[in-house]
A and B are shown apart, each in its own frame.
Chain A
């Protein structure tokens, strides 16, 4: 398994003096589903933004051993353009690189179908429910057929049912499209369900405290949540976090 992206000794301090990250080492291999788990404010989003190239590290390096892959990004909010219809929203990454309209429309429509939204191409974001808007956001992220999908707590604002449905859809996508996913969440259970590997982060300054290997999520369905293996995995992750949770409760956010 080759590493798709590696962070070596990455540190980042923001303008207001917050030491977001200090000496973060992380590598994500091709085909993995890695979750980044940690309490709020531990720098998980910063890691994603560093990989996406939206910010630069102060120290250390972000490297792509096989060359910079096509990256898709899903934010915590659906972040759709409210003035554009669903298909136009999904087509955005393709429009930005100048793909011809017909081909781009086809790709976008396919992405929508894979997220179960066939038939909603002409809808405006305002007309969709929160869960549907998040699906459009994911469809947009995969429209450009990325190798690496970065997701920043995408399902945090959704209700349990929608969240679980999207978890399953995401796993199916990961399997069908052979994606590599780096998934940020503060839910231990979500990370245990979705991942083949969980990197536990601790805050102020952010660093990787533990790296928990799990079994492959291929073929998992909602029944998995009731298995002992799932409980054990969740327990393992929680234990890694436990030593650090006490520290955060007294800290200023």
Chain B
């Protein structure tokens, strides 16, 4: 409802004020640009989506694995955490050219993947580490009383405890992976890049502003879909038992 109202106002504003297309295109113009360039925009979206998903999956896999390692040994945690923080605060804008040189210009997909992963990784690590450490102490004692192995404590107690924390971090990381993929492509230069970022830059350069907006719109749609899917996952896994997902009794 709100969206339709906003779009209508937007359209009206452009027409009434006769705003030139290269400053602010009308929604109808954006739609035409989208329809006209459907194939190339979709192909670009697919490229960006692929990198985002791969980077996200890698971030979750490595983040959880490292968090598990940290939970098993305080020494390792203290030793490695600073490096993880360094990864977090390093702006990919600055190191993108470097990564490209190291990985090789022919493997730009890998370079973009690494950069996107870099952005998405830290929230998973940080939240999962916290979650693993948050296991109820009395429950840990109960497990120890029944002579549970470290593995049993990890699988049956620590990981389920960490799940809500992990799911929360995933919602953040999903969006970050997308941003990382787009920014990496912006900064790693055009050349062989074919994602949505490239389309945006290209359209901008050619003053095809409507097409640029169309690409931006697709980017937003991607971001919203990712967030929505991850929220759905969170609901699916938590709604039966977690405080966050329960309906309030009235």
Contacts and interface: CB of A to CB of B under 8 A. Distances in A.
B138 A79 contact: yes
A96 interface: yes
A124 to B, nearest CB: 5
A98 to B, nearest CB: 10
B59 to A, nearest CB: 24
Interface string A79-111: 101111000000011011100000000000000
Contact of B145 (A71, A81, A126): A71
Given A81-B139, A126-B246, A96 B144 contact: no
A56 to B, nearest CB: 13
A54 B160 contact: no
A84 B157 CA distance: 11
A53 interface: yes
A121 interface: no
A194 B169 CA distance: 49
A96 B139 contact: no
Interface in A55-94: 71, 73, 75, 77, 79, 81-84, 92-93
Contacts of B156: 81, 92, 95-96
Nearest to B246: A126
B240 A124 contact: yes
B186 to A, nearest CB: 42
A144 interface: yes
Interface stretch (B50-58, B99-107, B146-154, B187-195): B146-154
Interface residues of A, number: 22
B141 A54 contact: yes
Contacts of B241: 82-83, 124-126
A126 B245 CA distance: 12
Contact of A93 (B136, B141, B146, B246): B146
Nearest to A52: B145
Contacts of B157: 81
Contacts of A83: 160, 163, 241-242
A54 B145 contact: yes
B221 to A, nearest CB: 33
A77 B138 contact: yes
A84 B148 CA distance: 18
A53 B145 contact: yes
A54 B146 contact: no
A71 B146 CA distance: 8
Size category, B interface:
20 to 34
Contacts of A73: 141-142, 145
B143 interface: yes
A144 B146 contact: yes
A130 B13 CA distance: 60
A81 B138 contact: no
Contacts of A96: 143, 146-148, 152, 156
Of A77, A82, A84, A124, which is in contact with the most chain B CB atoms at under 10 Å from its CB? A82
Contacts of A82: 241-242
A218 B74 CA distance: 50
Interface string A106-124: 0000000000000000001
Nearest to B163: A83
Interface in B183-216: none
Contacts of A95: 156
A29 B157 CA distance: 34
A175 to B, nearest CB: 24
Contacts of B142: 73, 75, 79, 92
A75 B145 CA distance: 12
Contacts of A97: 146-147
Contacts of A49: 141
A51 to B, nearest CB: 10
Interface in B212-247: 240-243, 246
18 contacts: A52-B145, A54-B141, A73-B141, A73-B145, A75-B138, A75-B142, A77-B138, A79-B139, A81-B139, A81-B160, A82-B242, A83-B160, A83-B163, A83-B242, A96-B147, A96-B148, A124-B240, A124-B241
Given A77-B138, A82-B241, 19 more contacts: A49-B141, A54-B145, A73-B141, A75-B142, A79-B136, A79-B139, A79-B142, A81-B156, A83-B160, A84-B160, A92-B142, A92-B156, A95-B156, A96-B143, A96-B147, A96-B152, A97-B147, A124-B241, A125-B241
Interface of B: 136, 138-139, 141-148, 152, 156-157, 160, 163, 240-243, 246
Interface of A: 49, 52-54, 71, 73, 75, 77, 79, 81-84, 92-93, 95-97, 124-126, 144
